[in-house]
């Protein structure tokens, strides 16, 4: 019998799993243990650092509530959320890229008429969002469901301010017609800090990182026969584009936001969403 | 500017750390991100698995309380606690090996006279624990502090049963004289399951692993000029020796437990503790 030792630690732990455990779980756990032990060995983690890690994880769990998910924030700032999103949404060239869903999506937003204004608090600079939902060949997709949401002019999503903002402020669903076009009025979104009064905020400060996300409008676009697209369009002149705290920016998602002279709105942003078929 | 992508995910995250962050923190976090992303890429973690991981970590944090540390249990069953202990307590040949402290140590146990009985609940089979505290040259160490603790005959430590067990049941401190000898009466300890009614217990069940630790007596031996020794002696005939849920067993720590014919106790266990000097 060989007992656990520094040299055989990975084999000792993984050898304990039952051969009858679910194969995928076995594979994931074996890889987790292998990488986790390799990390500890590489940095020769001290006892005190281990204690700090236990304390950090405990506080992160205890910060979680119905309104706050600190472990998702941790995943976000370590690039894990974006990495999982990237691995699970590899698309053919030409298709619009995914980015993180984020914690502020709310299902069930009201379906609105094309051209409607989703912003009900009268704050911020108005912006006309328009473009088409098309396939890889550039053909319009009819009946696509375009679910949109953004923060308000103070950088808060409606779910962060119940009782202050209307539940559906800066949210709405639009269904495309045969031309594939969408059009709605919202505000030009603003950059905002992710919640940073917990352990994750403390970690960011220790690492010398800021908590800001560049301004963006969220889109979830679905249509039968096509892969679900979850993405944002980013405002091109945002100072945090190159340092998004959660690594959500992709060059292809930076959209033009043009100041308009005598339109219905102060700004106008045109963006086409290209859906990839379900293979 | 290069934005985050699957291919450059590690560099994107680690490149965000300030060069002014504490050097050790930079090194540990950079290695953590590198190994964590490598793990996710290797198994191509699905979105659903990521959600399960977030849920598991959240529940693990929320299970923690003043009496229960579920993240330490997680560290234990993944071999992390033992690995950190091994890395931080490499000793010269001949010195007694360390093993995990465990969650049931209580500082401040009463100092007792050599030969005293630490077991006050009248349960279990009595055992005489005896031996010497010596240096690498076999010379007795005087004034060594031998702090001992074990479960009771039902497999519970006193801290797990406040109001049922006396706080210092099966606990005591003994100070060696010039001969380096220690001697006390306790019980022959019994194997017991680690707490398994939380997320960690659920994980063990999914992996087809049992939650038991083989029977052991805990020792913390300290003396000026020597490295602190935190270890157990294991009962040699325990059925869980080769499958300790927390990987604490080392061959050198398996001690003889001999049945005695007409002594003060039913069992007798002799073990010498060899302390390494502080280098």
Whether residue B32 lies within 8 A of chain A, CB to CB, comes out as yes
Give the H/E segment covering residue A23.
helix A23-43
> What's the average model confidence in pLDDT over A193-214?
97
Cα(B207)–Cα(B193) distance, rounded to whole angstroms? 16
**Does residue A29 contact residue B39 with C-beta atoms inside 8 Å?**
no
Q: Which of A26, A29, A78 is nearest to A56 (CA)?
A: A78
Encode pLDDT of B103-123 as tens digits: 899 999 999 999 999 999 999
Average pLDDT, rounded, for chain B: 96
Phi, psi of A108 (to 5 degrees): 95, 15
- pLDDT over 70 at B257, yes or no: yes
Chain A CB contacts of B240 below 8 Å: none
**Geometric angle at alpha carbon B11, from B8 and B12, rounded to 5°:** 80
Task: Pick the residue of B25, B53, B58, B102 with the most A CBs within 10 A to test the interface with A by mutation.
Answer: B58
State the residue for tokens 């146990």. Answer: B109
The two tokens of residue B48 are 């659903």
What is the C-alpha separation between A54 and B253, in angstroms, rounded?
A: 27
- Given this model, what pLDDT does residue A66 score? 83
Say yes or no: B60 contacts chain A, CB-CB below 8 A: yes
Q: Which residues are CB-contacts of A24 (< 8 A; sequence separation ≥ 6)?
A: none
pTM: 0.94
CA distance B42 to A34: 11
Where are any strands of DSSP class E within chain A? 126-134, 145-149, 171-175, 181-187, 192-193, 212-213, 216-222, 229-235, 254-255, 258-259, 267-270, 273-274
Contact A266, A214 (CB under 8 A): no
Nearest CA-CA partner of B196 in B179, B185, B209, B177: B209
The distance of A265 to chain B (nearest Cα, Å) reads 31
> Do the beta carbons of residue B119 and residue B186 sit within 8 Å?
yes
Residue A74 has pLDDT above 80, yes or no: yes
Contact call for residues A87 and A156 (beta carbons, < 8 A): no
The fraction of chain A above a pLDDT of 90, given in percent, is 95
The nearest CA of chain A is from the CA of B218 a distance in Å of 18
According to DSSP, the residues that pair with B212 across neighbouring strands are: B193
Cβ-based neighbours of B178, under 8 Å, separated by 6 or more: B140, B142
Q: Is B4 on the interface with A (CB under 8 A)?
A: yes
- Distance, in Å, from the CA atom of A26 to the CA atom of A18, rounded to the nearest integer, reads 8
Q: Which residues contact B263 (CB under 8 A, 6 or more apart)?
A: B128
Read off the pLDDT of each residue in B135-161 and give the average, rounded to a whole number. Answer: 97
The CA distance from A162 to A157, in Å, is 9
C-alpha pair distances (Å), B237 with each of B89, B211, B216, B267: 27, 18, 11, 13
CB B92 within 8 A of CB B136: yes
What is the distance between the alpha carbons of residues B87 and B187, in angstroms, rounded to a whole number? 32
By the CB < 8 Å criterion, does B249 face chain A? yes
Query: What average pLDDT is seen over chain A?
Result: 96
Average of pLDDT values for B221-237? 97
| pLDDT for the residue A39 | 98
Are B268 and B258 in contact, with CB atoms under 8 Å apart?
yes
Q: Say yes or no to pLDDT of B248 above 90.
A: yes
DSSP code for A110: P
Which pLDDT band holds residue B262 (cuts at 50, 70, 90)?
Answer: confident
Q: Residue A96 phi/psi, 5° resolution?
A: -65, 140
Nearest beta carbon to residue B242 from set A1, A45, A251: A1
Q: Residue A1's pLDDT band (boundaries 50, 70, 90)? A: low
Chain B CB contacts of A20 below 8 Å: 208
As a whole number, mean pLDDT of residues B133-141 equals 98
Helix, strand, coil fractions of chain B, as percent rounded to 5: 30, 20, 50
Rounded-to-integer distance, Cα B100 and Cα B194, Å = 14
Flag whether pLDDT at B36 surpasses 80: yes
| pLDDT higher than threshold 90 for residue A263 | no
ipTM of the predicted assembly exceeds 0.85: yes
For residue B179, the distance in angstroms to the closest alpha carbon of chain A comes to 33
Indicate yes or no: CB of A208 within 8 angstroms of CB of B21: yes
Residue B132: per-residue pLDDT: 98
- Where residue B163 falls (left for φ over 0; alpha for ψ -120 to 50; beta otherwise) is left
Taking contacts as CB-CB distances below 8 angstroms, the residues of chain B near A37 are: 79-80, 83
Of A1, A5, A247, the CB nearest to B12: A247
Q: Look at residue A98 in the predicted model and tell me its pLDDT.
A: 97
Residue with tokens 């009782």: A163
Q: Give the SS3 label for residue A268.
A: strand
Looking at residues B231-236, what average pLDDT do you find?
96
Q: Does B153 touch chain A (CB under 8 A)?
A: no
List the alpha helices (DSSP H) in B159-258: 199-206
The helix (run of H) or strand (run of E) holding residue B59 is helix B47-62
- Tell whether the torsion through CA atoms of B207, B212, B216 and B220 is positive or negative: positive
Whether A140 and A134 have beta carbons less than 8 Å apart is answered as yes
Tokens 């006050």 correspond to B120
In the predicted model, is pLDDT for residue B1 greater than 80?
no
Rounded to an integer, what distance in angstroms lies between the CA atom of residue A59 and that of residue A200? 10
As a whole number of angstroms, the distance between CA A105 and CA A168 comes to 11
């Amino acid at each position: 019998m060989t007992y656990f030792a520094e040299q055989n630690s990975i084999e000792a732990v993984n050898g304990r799993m039952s051969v009858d455990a679910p194969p995928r779980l076995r594979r994931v756990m074996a890889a987790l243990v292998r990488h986790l032990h390799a990390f500890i060995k590489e940095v020769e983690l001290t006892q005190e650092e281990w204690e700090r890690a236990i304390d950090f994880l405990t506080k992160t769990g205890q910060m979680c509530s119905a309104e706050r998910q600190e472990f998702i924030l941790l995943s976000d700032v370590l690039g894990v959320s974006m990495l999982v999103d990237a691995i699970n949404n590899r698309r053919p060239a030409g298709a619009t890229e995914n980015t993180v869903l984020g914690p502020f999506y709310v299902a069930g937003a009201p379906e609105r008429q094309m051209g409607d204004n989703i912003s009900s608090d009268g704050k911020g600079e108005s912006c006309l969002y328009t473009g088409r939902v098309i396939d890889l060949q550039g053909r319009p997709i009819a009946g696509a469901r375009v679910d949109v949401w953004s923060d308000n002019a103070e950088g808060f999503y409606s779910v962060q301010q119940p009782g202050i903002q209307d539940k559906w402020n800066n949210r709405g669903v639009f269904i495309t017609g045969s031309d594939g076009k969408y059009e709605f009025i919202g505000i030009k979104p603003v950059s905002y800090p992710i919640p940073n009064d917990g352990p994750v905020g403390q970690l960011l400060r220790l690492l010398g990182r800021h908590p800001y996300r560049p301004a963006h409008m969220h889109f979830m676009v679905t249509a039968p026969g096509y892969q679900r697209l979850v993405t944002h369009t980013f405002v091109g002149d945002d100072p945090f584009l190159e340092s998004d705290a959660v690594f959500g920016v992709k060059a292809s998602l930076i959209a033009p936001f043009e100041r308009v002279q005598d339109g219905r709105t102060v700004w106008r942003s045109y963006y086409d969403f290209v859906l990839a078929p379900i293979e």
